[in-house]
Structure 1
Amino acid sequence: MHLNLVPPVVEAGHVEDLVKAGETISASYSPVGNSLAVFLTSSVGTMASPRKESTDEEIPLYFASTDAAPTSERRLFITDTIVIFSAFQSLYQNRIADNSQWSQDTELLSIVRKLSIDYVNFIREYWTLLSVNPRNIVFALIFTFSQDRTAVASPLQFSIDHYRSLFSCFSLFVILFLPEPDYEDAPVGEELMEWLNIHFIEPSTEEGDQLSSLDRPWEDDNFWPYLTRATIRGLTKASVFFLKSLSDHPSEYLHDLSQVLIPLIDEQPRLQNYSAERDFAFASRRWRERVHTLRVEMDRVPEDDREDDFDNWWDRLSDIVGILEGRVDVLKRVCEELGSDWKEVCAAWGIFVDTRLRRQDLPDVVAEVLESMPPDPTVLEDMVHSALFSAQINQALSYASQLDQWLAAHLADLMAPLSLIETDIEEESELSKRDQYVLAYAEYLLSDPTLWRITLAYMYSCGNVGKERGDEILMRVPLRLQEQKSAENQGEMEGVVGTLRDLNQVCFEFQRETARRAICRIAAQCFASKKDYALAVSYSISAEDWFGLGRIVDRVLEEYLLSGPQIFARFTSEIAPSLHEIGTCTGLQGVFLHRLMFAIRYSQFHRLRLQHDFRDAASDLVVLLRDDVAPKSWWAILLCDSVELLQQGPALLFSPASATELLKKLEELSTRTSQGYGRDYLSVLLRRMKSGGEKEALEHMKTVRLALAKYFARCAIAGFEGDTVQNM
């Protein structure tokens, strides 16, 4: 891998200076995307970390990516083609569940062909739009394909010709490997010639216009090359037009021969005009006999009459007739003279040499043509074409990946179910051939973090390896949002929640339950750190992370110690609705539910107290202790809270039985502390006191004992019957 860093870490030719300084260049690979952090580090030792100087010198840290992030035009291309990919994956997964045989299911192949043609049509439309006005194309694409009206135009990342190459390669694949059902064994020559005329236009329209403006076009050097090329390409109207112009030629022989040639070219049998191939074959033989008759007439032309003042018209006409006769040597020679390549020879082969050329026979023809007319190794598009023509699928994918990873991934995705490539999992990579190309494309998409949804769609289609990598991407999306949540802006927080909602939706869509729970755990931690306890509890419940839920509840309870009862009550009121959500969960450990219930019930007590509803507050406090809702570590706190209520007057808020319950808890706390279990009962009180130990805590609890003694005295003075206090 070669990376260009600006400014350079080391000037060219000065690497030795770096070695002498005891330094080397190190890099750290990002697990989020295909990027590197490059920095200088000491060449001594095994740990690579940025160099740290004792001075204030700034050490440069370079960020480099192995792939260029897609620009506007490329991103729109990616986001639109994922729709077709997803439709194909849905079809594929359903058929796998039904154990369908792709190659034997005509209806299925028709759908695959339709989706493949959708790819071709989209690329063609995209290329056409690019060709119209490349400067403003991004804005045109935004309004044509996308709902995003805020995208900003940027220079084209790939040339217009690049998309033309994708168009030609994908359409050729469809012609050769996805013919219409029941036409797999039909002759392929006319389809190949049509493909050639669409993607490699020759002769040019400008040449024809220039020649047609001449009174004596045969005097132009381009006349015969144009006429010959038009004949090879099946451009009947152009060929007939210029043959008719020869009626004014001074040679009577040429005039007569051209009049015979015109109906031959105009009436050459085309497969599409016949309902049965047998009828087409019979018409082709009859037509070939007429060509032979023309050859006989040409041979009768005297040698002295075969030239005009500009060219040897007979040789030129003979080449055209030789092509119509299907003579391979003439076809190759003429194509080379015209500057054509192997593709034109192969397409013309199925039109003139072997009109019944089948797809399965095409590789043999291509092999013969390529011996004398090899493809251009410097043009990847040409190499993809030659590999597809030759049915060398692995080579085609290899060249396609070099041309554009998008092309290789989507071709491989279609080839695998058609059994064009091996579907076995390779032992070393643990990936199939198809998955290797699709996963390589998905990793390229990592260069743009905003495309994570699309990246996951490709990754999750790539077996266990792809799913594991996809899970890693999923779990890193919320991590990248932590900095956003540091702001108190509510809009930003809502954006975070929306992103997490999208993540959960992706997990449900691809059945990634383990990843979904991990994401919810991470989200819960993030929200808890920002004191958004309602969301933290909700995501913990969604993750079924009961230990995490316990930690969050502990943090909420800690708010009581740090911020006081009012803020504590506000936080717990926000998490109270989570109790209903927990009721539907399975596997919940009671200890965590118990802790959450305590936090909510305890906050309710403080809300009643702050609202001066002391009687209900007293009742709630007793229930918390009597029913063991409160953990033992919180008994001391609750008993201290009771002092205020015990001292309220003149009404007696606790019944004697309730006051006795408070006394029992106080006695248990004192006894167990004296037995060495003080940490279990006094830990929370000690944190609130912030100083002192168990001895000081017990001294503090004497205020509770004193308040209870006074309360019982008040009860005795007031008098009571059973548990009912009689007010005097």
Structure 2
Amino acid sequence: MTTIRLYPPLFEEGKEIEFVRSGRTLSAIPSPRDNSVAVFSTSAVDPQTLKSLNEKYTDSRDIYTASTDKIPTSERRLFVTDTSVIFASLQDFKNSNKTSDLDSRLGRSEQVSPVLIKHAVDYVKIVVDSWARASKPVNRPRPLQYDANHYRTLYTCLSLFVVLYLPEAGFDDAPVGEELMEWLNTHFIEPSSEEGDHLSSQDKPWQDDTFWPYLTRSVLRGFSKAPVFLLETLSRHPSEHLQNLVNYLSPLLSSHPRILQFSTEREFVVALRRWKERVKTLRLELDQVPEEEREDDFENWWKPLSNIVGILEGRLEIIQNICIDLNADWKEVCATWSIFVNHRLRRQDLPEVVNQVLESMPPDPTDLEDMIHVALFRGEIMEALSHAAKLDIWLAAHWIDLMEHLDLLNTHAGDDLEISIRDQYILSYADYLHSDPALWRITVAYMCSCGSIGKEQADQVLLRVPVDVNRGATGPSDVHATVSSGEVPEALRDVIETCHEYGRESVRRMVCTIAAQNFLRRREYGLAVSYTTSAENWTWLGRIVDAILAEYIKHGPEVFARSVAAVAPSLQELRAHPGADGVFTHRLMFAVRYAEFHQRRLSGDLQEAALDILTMFNEDLAPKMWWGVLLCDAVELVRHDSLMLYSSSGAVELLKRLEEVNLRASQGSGDDYLSVLMVTMKGATEGEVLQRLKSARLSLAKYYAKCTMVAGGRDVTRLRAGIIAV
């Protein structure tokens, strides 16, 4: 259960009853963008009821925002980002090897194990780097979110997991002692080098209180050089017995057989048996020292030396007593056991050994690191995951992903659940990442690795990624403002790319539709059309086309021409789309062609502009409700006395269209042909519009007559047809 503390408090401690009697209660609304919540007080009962009870009602306007997780700071975000790359690589490998053999026991295949080991070791390297950065003695404006000790703990746990559960190919059944002792000496350094330097600087180090503990600990940890060096100093010891014993002990320590020195286990066993015989001989020599000569002027030297020989003999009771005296713990006993007690100890034998050791040396239940180590030694995977989640959900999520590949999880444990145990931990980690909106890509990657439920959660994250399309463009109140630069926000491109990557097609279409709506509000019609086409949302395409044509109605030809200038490339994309709605495509083609007409007209290219008018009619691009507008535009062109922009056939085509408009208007269908022209004429009546068209018809007839006269009397028949039309 998450506890959220409000500051400043809504009420003082002990004032809960007064708060309730004031008619208020606490309410919370989760944020759709991240996993934060807004907390505020609201009325619990009707205020009128409170008045009847003579209770005071206070309407508090304070709103508190809080997050259910600690938002990752910069150093933590770097750690999260780096490890997410390894996680993604492992998922790619898993997905590329989905066969019956590899999918069931992915981690046990000789083909796969090296890959899993590499990824696990890469995790370890990043943890070590984070530990090193956190350990640097630099001045920071604020404390680290996770200190160096936290990353050190992750390091010990991850590296132990690699030692116990990810042996190299062919070493699954090999003795584990050397690797276990190396892990212990790497992470829990004893004895310290400072102690060794202190003793080596003395003339009679055996008179120092730390001499025998240091020597004993060095032997216990499997070291040879440091003990041999200190033993050589005992050649100056006053006891001849000790000098003789040391001369025998030093070669024993130096020649202690280690399995890594041999090519086969059999050779190692033979060498170890011979070495053990020499240890027995040393024990006989040690026991023959008279009682009265086992001490010097400083202390009893025989007992600590006997303990060292007991370690070499592999006597468990002596090893445990030594570890207790040296304030060591169960881990040291287990590691020493694997070197001196049972040199053939396998990984599968560790749980039995650990249970025996823990009977006399229990772990610290308040230390999560120690409890994780115990669970790993015992092979209690679910217990290790539970403790790891308390330490850092990052560790639990990445561990269980590796464990699933290694077939370490009980596949039947979650059969009655809708979501697997593996996915539960990874989604918990993804929920933690969701506290930082900047990490949405990584959040989606983890969610999409968790089946259908995870992908559905990822969909909600993708839909709520903040995408800013208002990139400093002029305000919407400025109707003469040009559209903005036409650049697509990087976040939008990233969201769509992520949808493609994880196959979230429905989300991609929805995101494209939302983007198109936003671009439409910004009057960026080219981008609006492009994203609507990508979304295959033809209803919204119709709305965009309407908005484009409305630019002419509202703001005139100049603004209209500039607004549609960026639509032409999107039109090509739309026409190439196999599922495009032909009606809306046709209307958009008209908008683009009509904008080109005004661009040419405004730039003085009247001949091409005139051809655009005829083309729109001849190719049936112009909707009938726009015929009146186009005809009026054509008349404006023919009123240039010095230019002959239309041929006589072109003039006849315009007269035919004009006659159809008049005819349909007289038959009661004026709205179908005159609605746009009525709006552009600032709300003129149908009669006023028809009067304007009559004037246009007269101008076109005169122009046609002029064409005929210029042609020298040709096309008499067409002239008569033109006069009849007038």
Shift in Å, 1:130: 3.1
Deviations 1:10-51 (A, max 9, x none): 3222222221111111111112212111111111379xxxxx
Q: Where do 5+ consecutive residues of structure 2 fail to align? A: 48-56, 476-480
Counterpart pick for 1:158 among 131, 136, 146: 146
2:450 maps to 1:462: yes
Deviations 1:622-660 (A, max 9, x none): 332343212233233323334423544365655565455
Q: Percent of aligned positions with the same letter in both sequences?
A: 51
Moved more, 500-509 or 408-417: 500-509
2:130 maps to 1:126: yes
**Aligned to 2:489, what secondary structure does the other structure show?**
helix
Cα 1:711/1:677, change in 2 over 3 Å: closer
1:39 aligned partner, one-letter code = F
Aligned equivalents of 2:251 and 2:9: distance in 1?
A: 70
Aligned equivalents of 2:75 and 2:388: distance in 1?
A: 20
Moved more, 508-517 or 69-78: 508-517
2:5 aligned partner, one-letter code = N
2:193 maps to 1:193: no
Cα 1:313/1:483, change in 2 over 3 Å: farther
Aligned equivalents of 2:704 and 2:486: distance in 1?
A: 55
Cα 1:686/1:306, change in 2 over 3 Å: farther
What pairs up with 1:42-61 in 2 under 5 angstroms?
A: 42-44=43-45, 59-61=61-63
Counterpart pick for 1:688 among 680, 692, 703: 680
Aligned equivalents of 2:80 and 2:361: distance in 1?
A: 36
Deviations 1:45-75 (A, max 9, x none): 79xxxxxxxx998722111111222222112
**Counterpart contact for 2:41–2:60, Cα < 8 Å:** no
**Counterpart contact for 2:330–2:357, Cα < 8 Å:** yes
**Aligned to 1:181, what secondary structure does the other structure show?**
coil
Moved more, 345-354 or 654-663: 654-663
Aligned equivalents of 1:496 and 1:339: distance in 2?
A: 64
Cα 1:104/1:343, change in 2 over 3 Å: closer
**Counterpart contact for 1:422–1:432, Cα < 8 Å:** no
Partner residue in 2 for 1:114: 118
Counterpart pick for 2:693 among 704, 711, 724: 704
Aligned equivalents of 2:717 and 2:570: distance in 1?
A: 37
1:573 aligned partner, one-letter code = A
Partner residue in 2 for 1:547: 539
**Counterpart contact for 1:655–1:723, Cα < 8 Å:** no
Shift in Å, 1:114: 1.7
**Aligned to 1:378, what secondary structure does the other structure show?**
coil
Aligned equivalents of 1:278 and 1:365: distance in 2?
A: 23
Cα 1:562/1:490, change in 2 over 3 Å: closer
**Counterpart contact for 2:629–2:677, Cα < 8 Å:** yes
Partner residue in 2 for 1:135: 139
Cα 1:586/1:491, change in 2 over 3 Å: closer
Aligned equivalents of 2:718 and 2:313: distance in 1?
A: 121
Counterpart pick for 1:411 among 394, 399, 407: 399
**Aligned to 2:680, what secondary structure does the other structure show?**
helix
**Aligned to 1:106, what secondary structure does the other structure show?**
coil
Partner residue in 2 for 1:481: 468
Aligned Cα root-mean-square deviation (Å): 3.0
What pairs up with 1:434-583 in 2 under 5 angstroms?
A: 434-477=422-465, 479-482=466-469, 484=471, 497-583=489-575
Aligned equivalents of 1:293 and 1:69: distance in 2?
A: 64
Deviations 1:148-171 (A, max 9, x none): xxxxx7642111111111111111
Aligned equivalents of 1:573 and 1:221: distance in 2?
A: 90
2:468 aligned partner, one-letter code = L
**Aligned to 1:269, what secondary structure does the other structure show?**
coil
Aligned equivalents of 2:164 and 2:474: distance in 1?
A: 57
Aligned equivalents of 2:301 and 2:629: distance in 1?
A: 114
Aligned equivalents of 1:18 and 1:635: distance in 2?
A: 70
**Counterpart contact for 1:636–1:701, Cα < 8 Å:** no
Moved more, 277-286 or 557-566: 277-286
Aligned equivalents of 1:556 and 1:495: distance in 2?
A: 19
Partner residue in 1 for 2:577: 585
Cα 1:91/1:279, change in 2 over 3 Å: same
Aligned equivalents of 2:557 and 2:530: distance in 1?
A: 23
Shift in Å, 1:725: 7.1
Aligned equivalents of 2:657 and 2:203: distance in 1?
A: 119
**Aligned to 2:145, what secondary structure does the other structure show?**
coil
Partner residue in 2 for 1:625: 617
Shift in Å, 1:251: 2.7
Moved more, 706-715 or 55-64: 55-64
Counterpart pick for 2:204 among 204, 216, 223: 216
Aligned equivalents of 2:381 and 2:72: distance in 1?
A: 28
1:231 aligned partner, one-letter code = V
Cα 1:598/1:589, change in 2 over 3 Å: same
What pairs up with 1:367-386 in 2 under 5 angstroms?
A: 367-386=355-374
Shift in Å, 1:704: 0.7
Partner residue in 1 for 2:78: 76
1:92 aligned partner, one-letter code = K
Deviations 1:542-563 (A, max 9, x none): 2222222222121111111111
Shift in Å, 1:337: 1.4
Partner residue in 2 for 1:35: 36
Shift in Å, 1:617: 2.9
Partner residue in 2 for 1:333: 321
Moved more, 674-683 or 273-282: 674-683
Aligned equivalents of 1:207 and 1:607: distance in 2?
A: 89
1:315 aligned partner, one-letter code = K
**Aligned to 1:416, what secondary structure does the other structure show?**
helix
Deviations 1:256-276 (A, max 9, x none): 222222222221110100000
2:3 maps to 1:2: yes
2:87 aligned partner, one-letter code = F
Cα 1:243/1:465, change in 2 over 3 Å: same
**Counterpart contact for 1:485–1:530, Cα < 8 Å:** no
Partner residue in 2 for 1:272: 260
**Counterpart contact for 1:656–1:712, Cα < 8 Å:** no
Cα 1:495/1:374, change in 2 over 3 Å: farther
**Counterpart contact for 2:467–2:491, Cα < 8 Å:** no
Moved more, 126-135 or 673-682: 673-682
Aligned length: 699
2:297 maps to 1:303: no
Deviations 1:188-243 (A, max 9, x none): 01111110111011111222222222322222222222111111111211111222
**Counterpart contact for 1:127–1:164, Cα < 8 Å:** yes
Deviations 1:434-456 (A, max 9, x none): 22222222221122222222222
**Aligned to 2:576, what secondary structure does the other structure show?**
coil
Cα 1:723/1:431, change in 2 over 3 Å: farther
Aligned equivalents of 1:491 and 1:230: distance in 2?
A: 77
Cα 1:710/1:490, change in 2 over 3 Å: closer
What pairs up with 1:217-236 in 2 under 5 angstroms?
A: 217-236=205-224
Partner residue in 2 for 1:143: none
**Counterpart contact for 1:643–1:704, Cα < 8 Å:** no
Aligned equivalents of 2:24 and 2:682: distance in 1?
A: 51
**Aligned to 2:302, what secondary structure does the other structure show?**
helix
Counterpart pick for 2:65 among 60, 63, 66: 63
**Counterpart contact for 1:642–1:704, Cα < 8 Å:** no
Aligned equivalents of 1:360 and 1:45: distance in 2?
A: 67
**Aligned to 1:577, what secondary structure does the other structure show?**
helix
**Aligned to 2:625, what secondary structure does the other structure show?**
helix
When the two structures are superposed, what TM-score results if normalisation uses the length of structure 1? 0.89
**Counterpart contact for 2:484–2:524, Cα < 8 Å:** no
Shift in Å, 1:302: 2.5
Cα 1:177/1:125, change in 2 over 3 Å: same
Moved more, 218-227 or 487-496: 487-496
Partner residue in 1 for 2:715: 721
